Amino acid sequence: MKLSKRVLEMQESVTLATAARAKTLKAQGRDILSLTLGEPDFPTPKNIQEAAVAAIEDGKASFYTVTSGLPELKAAVVEYFAKHYGYRIQPNQVTVATGAKFSLYTFFMSVLDPGDEALIPTPYWVSYGDQIKMAEGIPVFVQATEENDFKISVEQLEAARTDKTKVLVLNSPSNPTGMIYTADELLAIGNWALKHDIMILADDIYGRLVYNGNTFTPISSLSEEIRKQTVVINGVSKSYSMTGWRIGYAVGEPEIIAAMSKIAGQTTSNPTTVAQYAAIEALTGSQDTVENMRLAFEERLNTIYPLLAQVPGFEVVKPQGAFYFFPNVKKAMEMKGYTDVTAFTTAILEEVGVALVTGDGFGAPENVRLSYATDLDTLKEAIRRLKDFMEK
């Protein structure tokens, strides 16, 4: 069989691939601690589960909904924005999708023509580049470094801009670095994008998961003009521990939102009906569990960060949000005689049974990603083993 050029050129999601490898070894009876997946380890809160059960029992979950989502869910997003973003949107500015990942895909498919360029601050979340390529756009990577807390500047964006630049992808708090742009930094970036008529794709999925007094500012909240230039991507996966339910959404100007719904209408149709009912409860019900989960992540961050910083050769910037550490392991690799990060993480997995994700899929081949979306005992034991590995 001859597969398409499109799929042959596509990268497999590095996070999903490493997680699968760890699961296989576990199934073979190996003692594996996996710090790979970007998935909260808490069960979906009870009130959300119950709303889903009620929707099934009431016979509401059996049918298609409007492709862009249940009116009640859009209304919940409208209220959520009034509360957390500080501005009012209309229901026709919301389209719900099968996960934020699919919202992102419909965005790129809606705005990019072949050869259009999209700027991606690097390190970046694994799927942006490949989704842009699927839409026949060109990902242009703008390198951020540890010295600048993994944040890019307007000067760097300007240096990367061409007359083909159509989109800027912003993900703050960031997966994988956990860094958050300040309001001032975002305002400068937003005004630069406005000046050059570049659309902003604001992936705000980790906006509720910020720690130690750090705050999340949505770029779309900074001015009316910037808001009109921005499509916000958000969802319930990370803040409500609902990764398996697959509900994300996009908020923007009605024209782009309608275009994104059109693509969903010819691909997935509506996101699963029962999951939409669960998402309504997530957004409108008690928010106590969200805060409890946030506090648990914060405790893990503050406990594990100093331990990780003591692992020989691991150099780590303290994250401000999300739930990942992204240490630079250049020195660690040198100490152990590795030049390639995949060989390095494979050795860690084989010798001490700790699964990490290599940084190359995030555009950072000297880094590894550790997710702290797992319990403290597992995290402490994993760091102990990493230390063992390095000291051997």
First to last CA, the chain: 47
Tell me how many residues contact ligand PLP (CB under 6 A).
Answer: 13
Q: Indicate whether 110 belongs to the interface with ligand PLP (CB under 6 A).
A: no
- Which CB sits closer to ligand PLP, 38 or 218? 38
Across-strand partners of 328?
A: 315, 367
Tell which one of 100, 251, 256, 260 touches ligand PLP (CB under 6 A). 100
Map residue 231 onto helix, strand or coil.
Answer: strand
- Which CB sits closer to ligand PLP, 140 or 357? 357
Window of 94-102, 135-143, 256-264, 332-340 that interacts with ligand PLP by CB under 6 A = 94-102
Whether the bond into 176 is cis, omega within 30 of 0: yes
Tell which one of 14, 22, 33, 38 touches ligand PLP (CB under 6 A). 38
Q: Indicate whether 175 belongs to the interface with ligand PLP (CB under 6 A).
A: yes
Handedness of CA 189, 85, 244, 107 (dihedral sign): negative
Q: Indicate whether 369 belongs to the interface with ligand PLP (CB under 6 A).
A: no
Map residue 278 onto helix, strand or coil.
Answer: helix
Question: What's the CA angle centered on 137, arms 226 and 12, to 5 degrees?
Answer: 110
Per-residue mark of binding to ligand PLP, 197-216 (x: CB under 6 A)? ------x-x-----------
Residues 6+ apart with CB under 8 A from 82: 88
- Which CB sits closer to ligand PLP, 242 or 348? 242
Q: Indicate whether 99 belongs to the interface with ligand PLP (CB under 6 A).
A: yes
Q: Indicate whether 285 belongs to the interface with ligand PLP (CB under 6 A).
A: no
Beta carbon of residue 244, minimum distance to ligand PLP (angstroms, whole number): 9
Question: What's the CA angle centered on 148, arms 145 and 152, to 5 degrees?
Answer: 75
Beta carbon of residue 389, minimum distance to ligand PLP (angstroms, whole number): 27
Q: Note whether 93 and 253 are within 8 A (CB).
A: yes
Task: Residue 173: name the closest of 148, 149, 206, 151 by CA.
Answer: 206
Q: Supply the DSSP symbol for 321.
A: B
- Which CB sits closer to ligand PLP, 235 or 321? 235
Beta carbon of residue 100, minimum distance to ligand PLP (angstroms, whole number): 3
Beta carbon of residue 390, minimum distance to ligand PLP (angstroms, whole number): 28
Task: Residue 376: name the closest of 261, 317, 295 by CA.
Answer: 295
Strands 324-325 and 368-371, bridge-based pairing: antiparallel
Cβ atoms < 10 Å from Cβ of 186: 22
- Which CB sits closer to ligand PLP, 130 or 311? 130
Q: Please state, in angstroms and rounded to a whole number, the distance separating the CA atoms of residues 280 and 118.
A: 33
- Which CB sits closer to ligand PLP, 19 or 189? 19
Q: Indicate whether 45 belongs to the interface with ligand PLP (CB under 6 A).
A: no
Beta carbon of residue 280, minimum distance to ligand PLP (angstroms, whole number): 16
Across-strand partners of 371?
A: 324
Window of 40-48, 95-103, 223-231, 378-386 that interacts with ligand PLP by CB under 6 A = 95-103
Q: Please state, in angstroms and rounded to a whole number, the distance separating the CA atoms of residues 282 and 291.
A: 13
Per-residue mark of binding to ligand PLP, 229-268 (x: CB under 6 A)? ------x-x-----x----x--------------------
Q: Supply the DSSP symbol for 328.
A: B
Residue 323 has, within 13 A of its CA and on its CB side, a CA count of 29
Q: Indicate whether 125 belongs to the interface with ligand PLP (CB under 6 A).
A: yes
Residue nearest to ligand PLP (CB): 99
Interacting residues with ligand PLP (CB under 6 A): 38, 99-101, 125, 171, 175, 203, 205, 235, 237, 243, 248
